[in-house]
Amino acid sequence: MSKILKPRGRDGIVLGESDAAQLVRDAVRQVAEPSRRAFLQRSLTLGGLALLTGCSLSDNESVDMALMKMSRFNDKAQGWLFDPNKLAPTYPDSMITRPFPFNAYYGEDEVRQIDGDTYRLELAGLVSDKRPWTLSRLRALPQTDQVTRHICVEGWSAIGKWGGVRFSDFLRMNGADLTAKYVGFKCADDYYTSIDMPTALHPQTLLALTYDGQILPARYGFPMKLRMPTKLGYKNPKHIQAIYVTNTYPGGYWEDQGYNWFGGS
């Protein structure tokens, strides 16, 4: 697991109860969203957390387990609250943020350059038609675009215009099992993430091939990204190489380091 969720005692010493309490406090601060943070800090005691999660909290491993269970509980609650018919706000072209920010877990000078001619989008898991897709076949599908706000947990947001194939259509045409729990994404830069099926089927979830009417530039995820205005930035994978449908929880690059998995915005 993560830097955040896997804190070590100094010099590897086994932690006493008060160290463990400090550890939980630190980690809760990281796990909780700002709005929930104050509430959790006020209300969660070590004993309370133990009761809530059924974990003993006697060592680092069980503290990790408790925090993980809490975050997964949070995912469930968010899943119940998510309304598949509610649309995220859209904006006029005049409100597009220029230049639109770049972000990745590396700098802009390290953006992956992918060859569109040899590129194939792979499909795996609970999908009946696993034939890989070329870019030209994807571009021949009906396209739609939308201007929406991208919100990054790092504290910025920006309005951008993405165009592409409605993801629900894409899943259907490949015979994906729409009753499965998750859709996972593997990216060309070793990034990975996964989403819940209701979000995958949301009408504003796009397999985006363009940005602002142009072929998606490398820095924004060429040849394609999944664009979801209902999810935070880190849930929107760029440079997608493979898509798989599964009932096994797939996690994600930031999610496995303590970011909340549901990541709604």
Residues that bind Mo ion (CB under 5 A): 152, 233-234
Task: Indicate whether 255 belongs to the interface with ligand MTE (CB under 6 A).
Answer: no
Whether 210 contacts 202, CB under 8 Å? no
By beta-carbon distance, which residue lies closest to ligand MTE? 233
Report in angstroms how near the CB of residue 144 gets to ligand MTE at its nearest. 18
Report in angstroms how near the CB of residue 244 gets to ligand MTE at its nearest. 16
Report in angstroms how near the CB of residue 217 gets to Mo ion at its nearest. 17
Amino acid occupying residue 10: R
In this complex, which beta carbon is closest to ligand MTE, that of residue 93 or of residue 190?
190
- DSSP one-letter code for 86: P
Q: Can you spell out the DSSP letters for 119-184?
A: --BEEEESBS--PPBPHHHHHTS--EEEEEEEEETTTEEEEEEEEEEEHHHHHHHTTB-TTSSEEE
- Quick count: other Cβ atoms within 10 Å of Cβ 119? 18
202's contact among ligand MTE, Mo ion, none, with CB below 5 to 8 A by partner kind, is none
* Residue of 21, 50, 96, 152 that binds ligand MTE (CB under 6 A): 152
> Encoding tokens for residue 202?
């949301």
Site for ligand MTE in 66-105 (CB under 6 A): 101-105
Whether 255 contacts 263, CB under 8 Å? yes
Residues of this chain that bind ligand MTE (CB under 6 A): 101-105, 152, 187, 189, 191, 219-220, 233-234, 236-239
